[in-house]
Amino acid sequence: MAKTVMPFGPQHPVLPEPIHLTLVLEDDIVQEVLPNIGYCHRGIEKGCERNAYWKNPRLVEHVCGICNFMHAQAYCEAVEKALEMEVPPRAKYLRVIWAELNRIRSHLLWLGLLADAFGFESLFMQFWRIREKSVFLIEKTTGNRIIFSTCVVGGVNKDIPNDYLRGEFTKVLKEIKADVEELLPVLLKDPTVKARCVGKGVLSKEDAHKLGAVGPTARGSGLRQDMRLTGHAAYGELDFEPVVEPDGDSYARALVRAKEVLQSIELILEAIGKIPDTEIFIKPDHWPEKEAFSRIEQPRGELIYYVKGNGTRYLERCKIRTPTFANIPPLLAMLPGCEMADVPIITLSIDPCIACTER
């Protein structure tokens, strides 16, 4: 049977990310997939080596606007390890609050994009309407709608008053929770969504482990893998258990993200109840001389930052490994055998961020 080679991307109506896949088809069944990335390289790693190390949190936040706080947090935790310093307890809790708020914003954005991929435009707008409430909380607590710019080496540079956390902040979070609980069944119980997602893009638990899947892509295949289990920041003091779904298909990955929105709200509420009254910043008193790395759970999965100090204000090396980079090999294993029409949804199911990948 004759084979057809068809390009997918780098621009596609369903996928707002510049990823290019070369698909080899027999009829409309995918037989082979070859990736081609490199459309938005920006040289951020090299930029980190040109700046004084304390200026880089602002730079690495621009790796990705959707998960920017996590990039600053991972960078700061790596440098703090190289400096062998401990940040104040309140700063750790504030980092958790902002990180989980970042996760809520990211997952609601993705759920809206999933609805849009099926042509459910009204549902897409409803998810983004709810997302706007999380953006409101970000703006009220950081001064910015997108880039947080609150995480710095040694802690955080802004505080959130306890009365606001326990008042309006908690009130809006509970509104988000109620809205999400009402809207999720409309998407996840729709027969069209199930027909296009259930049994599509299956990644077994064994393949997820072997291919190095991370984040919801791994947890949707039954792997209990989440960097928050390491207890970094204040996660070790909170009641946390990863959301895991066993089926390994596109629907399972959607379920993981949907449930994680509600879980993140509960984590923030618990952190608000436990946050201590301490300072929020300790100024480093020497230059980083060692090498260190940090691992945190970004909305798409495990984010790794490696830094190497040399006893000056400049880093000798900064290396970033993003979750989409790790999830591309699993994606290539999901696609063969599927219909051409399923490629956009399966690709969307790993929540790809090519801007993160090509830093």
For residue 32, is it within any domain? Answer: no
For residue 26, is it within any domain? Answer: no
Provide the CATH number for the domain around residue 268: 1.10.645.10
For residue 262, is it within any domain? Answer: yes
- Whole-number pLDDT of residue 41: 72
Phi first, then psi, for residue 13 (nearest 5°) are -55, -30
For residue 292, is it within any domain? Answer: yes
Q: Do residues 122 and 154 make contact, with C-beta atoms less than 8 angstroms apart? A: no
- Whole-number pLDDT of residue 36: 83
- Whole-number pLDDT of residue 311: 92
- C-alpha 286/C-alpha 289 separation (Å) is 9
For residue 34, is it within any domain? Answer: no
Contacts of residues 181-190 at CB distance under 8 Å and 24 or more positions apart, as own/partner, are 181/262, 183/123, 183/126, 183/127, 183/130, 184/111, 184/258, 186/123, 187/111, 187/114, 187/115, 187/120, 187/123, 187/127, 187/258, 188/251, 188/254, 188/255, 188/258, 190/118, 190/120
pLDDT 10s per residue in the chain (359 long)?
678 888 887 776 666 677 888 999 998 899 999 888 776 777 899 999 999 999 999 999 999 888 899 999 999 999 999 999 999 999 999 999 999 999 999 999 999 999 999 999 999 999 999 999 999 999 999 999 999 999 999 999 999 999 999 999 999 999 999 999 999 999 999 999 999 999 999 999 999 999 999 999 999 999 999 999 999 999 999 999 999 999 999 999 999 999 999 999 999 999 999 999 999 999 999 999 999 999 999 999 999 999 999 999 999 999 999 999 999 999 999 999 999 999 999 999 999 888 788 76
For residue 70, is it within any domain? Answer: yes
Domain with 341, as residue range(s), is: 41-357
What SS3 class is residue 29? strand
Domain count, the chain: 1
For residue 36, is it within any domain? Answer: no
For residue 330, is it within any domain? Answer: yes
